[in-house]
Structure 1
Amino acid sequence: MTWVPQSCTLPTAEQPLRIAEFDALFAGALRAVERPAPTSVRLVLDRAADAVARELADREAGCCSFFTFVFDHDAAGRLLMDIAVPEAHADVLEALADRARGAQK
């Protein structure tokens, strides 16, 4: 299952490119995936990915307005990318989390 929801306003032709951008972020910077709740996921990323992750999240929130992205840093300096969705989109978030976990080595 792809995590791109049908309610996404990103043109269909651009969706594979956006998925590839997330895949590249996951492959290069992802350190951990945490699931504090069914409607939230925390991606622990290398701090060097800060600008890329924020820009990507901003664009994603622009086409899928139900996503909420919040950024912070932990004591080790890693980037924390918290993603939340309304309950109606929990399956989309789970698919995104699965894709991120699949990129972990």
Structure 2
Amino acid sequence: MSKLSLFPIIIVVPFLKVSGMAIFPFVLVKHQDLKNDDQLIRHETIHLMQELELLIIPFYILYLANYLVNLIRYHDHEKAYLNIVFEREAYAHETSSSYLKHRKFWGWLKFIKA
């Protein structure tokens, strides 16, 4: 994991509308079997690191602001979501088992595009 040895607390939330979600300090998953989905847990753990770096509340503000700007730009929910800078980092590295060990502080910054 990261320099902070972040091991998420995973909670099953059956009524969740998505497969997984990071709400510090938890990773929420829709089904019990998703607790063992390394790719999903890594994706959400990247979000936990982003949340910590931004002292949690500012992360959610920036996440929502980035989504709204993208929604205006793309006029499409899915495209707006996929282009959130925090999602871009998480999706880019969710398959790398070593990413969290070597991730640079504020690693999401390199995913900002003009």
TM-score, scaled relative to structure 1: 0.31
Q: Which structure's residues are more often helix, by fraction?
A: 2
The structure that has the greater radius of gyration is 2
Q: Which has the higher contact order (CA 8 A, sep 6+)?
A: 1
